[in-house]
Amino acid sequence: MLKKTLAALVLGSALAGGQAFAADYAIDKEGQHAFVNFKISHLGYSWLWGTFKDFDGAFSFDAAKPAESKVNVTLKTASVDTNHAERDKHLRSDDFLNVAKHPTATFESTSVKPTGDGTADITGNLTLNGVTKPVVIAAKFIGEGKDPWGGYRAGFEGSTTLTLKDFDIKMDLGPASQTVDLIISVEGVRK
């Protein structure tokens, strides 16, 4: 174990040429300090909130070089939950997420552009309902540091807005509900 860690450190610093290099983080799925929530307007009168319970992913991040950050997430679309079993069944059907045919959604970043103090636009390819489209997530760095149990963590929040039709979602929920907001909050544990 120690040998392996040492080897990784030596190899790591060799690759980074002695400079600081981005650390790799795994999304804290075990403790579930990670959320992919969404909200969509109901008739224009209120927000319907939901979440995806099953997803995993990783990111690399160095606060000194945010532009070199990378993130990827894989999500099981069947894990959608809006506190209403009958509605969730409908959301999994081919009127919406078509989970039988497209059980996973993925996001893979292609570029990260810092936009200010601790904020960045993460551009990447989102594959949802079998459709891959570039999206931009407005991300905000929340914090990083040691946790009380011997690990090291970093966390972010981000949001983006998706147009349902862009991802071939058939059901039309009316003029106020053409888009859905994704609100993401993830914490990673350094590998």
Nearer Cβ to another protein, position 78 or 138? 78
Measured from the CB atom, the residue of 82 and 127 that comes closer to another protein is 82
117 binds another protein (CB under 8 A): no
Counting contacts by CB under 8 A, is residue 172 touching another protein? Answer: yes
d(CA 14, CA 182): 39
Task: Give the strand pairing for 80-81 and 70-76.
Answer: unpaired
Smaller CB separation from another protein, 7 or 176: 176
Distance, CA of 12 to CA of 156 (rounded, Å): 24
Which amino acid makes up residue 15? L
Taking CB under 8 A as the rule, does residue 171 contact another protein?
Answer: yes
Contact stretch for another protein (CB under 8 A) within 46-54, 114-122, 158-166, 168-176? 168-176
| Degrees to nearest 5, angle at CA 154 with 191 and 52 | 90
Given candidates 3, 14, 85, 150, which one binds another protein under the rule CB under 8 A? 85
Q: How far is the CB of 173 from another protein (least distance, A)?
A: 5
- Decide if residue 83 touches another protein (CB under 8 A): yes
- Contact between 9 and another protein by CB under 8 A: the answer reads no
Considering CB under 8 A, how many residues would be counted as binding another protein? 12
Per CB under 8 A, contacts with another protein among 124-143 are none
Please give the residues from 88 up to 107 whose contact with another protein meets the rule CB under 8 A. Answer: 88-89, 92
User: Is residue 86 involved in binding another protein (CB under 8 A)?
Assistant: yes
CB of 86 to another protein, least distance (A): 6
> Applying CB under 8 A, which residues contact another protein?
78, 83-86, 88-89, 92, 171-174
